[in-house]
């Protein structure tokens, strides 16, 4: 007869599929020794730029047992966000695909809570916390260890079946569960992501200098965009998908089935003149529940102005 660790692991994966998750894998909760060294090196090289929070809670980032007392397992999940249609360019400007619809933090966390509630009805009470890019967790490291996919040269998690356009989420719990094995790397000699990055942000295989990334400049950076980005933005006003768009594995990406990730109709209707005349009221209406609200109106205006004035020295919108 199968052990509870096996039966529970099978049940969790079955429930994850029922709740719309693309993949589900399990790791044993433990200290991430290799990842701790890599993170320390990354921070020492100032690749986090002005993202000072990346240096906070270092021990928690590399040991999930400090996030959930008595944690024994990390359940890693992926949730598809690949859109049914590509909105770019929006009047000559681009938004990262993950931000087309409603904020994934809120959408996925609600699904995770419902998933755990149903699990507890069958398994009984257990200690847990749910996460999706919302706490000091090395999500890609746990997803890799759980066998969901491998970390590509662009530092994104990649799968053979679905590419890389998905969100990662975790359930850290005190259940003893059968752990999965990591996948092998299937990037081979491909360098498309490295060669395509207009700012040279991929400084080594699997290593990103965040301070050079267009996503960092348009989302994380609160001050003025450095002149080093001049002529290199390629019309991205929020985020950047270049290193994913060129990845050969993303030819297998399939459209998501989550209506909350569909774009606001007014966003689809935006044209060049609309972006130039964007008001606070229209920004709030279009992006009220969107990840784009993170930049605030002033931040998006800054990005649009920088692109308009500096990309190749010509006005683009």
The catalytic residues are 133
Q: Where are the beta strands (DSSP E) in 61-155?
A: 73-80, 94-95, 128-131, 150-151
Cα distance between residue 99 and residue 293, in whole Å:
10
DSSP string, 165-182: -EEEEEEEES---PPPPP
Distances, alpha carbon 19 to alpha carbons 107, 112, 117, 183, 262, in Å: 12, 8, 12, 24, 18
Q: Are 164 and 39 in contact (CB under 8 A)?
A: no
**Cis previous bond, 89, omega within 30:** yes
Instruction: Report angle CA 118, 119, 120 to the nearest 5 degrees.
Output: 90
DSSP 8-class letter at 264: P
Q: Are 129 and 26 in contact (CB under 8 A)?
A: no
């Amino acid at each position: 007869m199968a052990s509870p660790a096996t039966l529970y692991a099978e049940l969790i994966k079955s429930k994850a599929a029922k709740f719309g998750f693309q993949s589900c894998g399990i790791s044993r909760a433990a200290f991430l020794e290799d990842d701790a060294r890599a993170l320390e090196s990354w921070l020492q090289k100032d690749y986090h730029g002005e993202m000072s929070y990346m240096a906070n809670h270092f021990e928690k980032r590399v040991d999930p047992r400090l996030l959930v007392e008595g944690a024994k397992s990390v359940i890693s999940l992926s949730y598809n966000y690949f859109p049914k249609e590509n909105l770019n360019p929006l009047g000559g400007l681009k938004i990262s695909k993950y931000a087309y619809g409603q904020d994934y933090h809120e959408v996925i966390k609600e699904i995770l809570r419902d998933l755990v509630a149903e699990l507890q009805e069958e398994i009984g009470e257990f200690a847990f916390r749910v996460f999706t890019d919302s706490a000091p967790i090395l999500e890609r490291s746990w997803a890799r260890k759980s066998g969901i996919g491998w970390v590509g040269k662009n530092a994104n998690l990649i799968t053979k079946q679905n590419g890389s356009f998905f969100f990662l989420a975790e359930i850290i719990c005190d259940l003893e569960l059968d752990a999965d094995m990591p996948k092998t790397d299937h990037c081979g000699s491909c360098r498309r992501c490295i060669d395509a990055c207009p700012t040279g942000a991929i400084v080594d295989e699997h290593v990103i200098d965040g301070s050079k990334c267009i996503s960092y400049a348009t989302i994380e950076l609160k001050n003025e965009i450095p002149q080093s980005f001049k002529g290199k933005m390629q019309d991205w006003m929020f985020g950047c998908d270049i290193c994913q768009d060129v990845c050969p594995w993303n030819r297998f990406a399939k459209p998501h089935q989550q209506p909350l990730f569909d774009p606001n109709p007014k966003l689809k209707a935006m044209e060049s003149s609309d972006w130039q005349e964007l008001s606070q009221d229209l920004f709030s209406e279009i992006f009220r529940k969107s990840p784009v609200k993170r930049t605030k109106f002033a931040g998006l205006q800054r990005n649009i102005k920088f692109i308009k004035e500096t990309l190749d020295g010509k006005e683009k919108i």
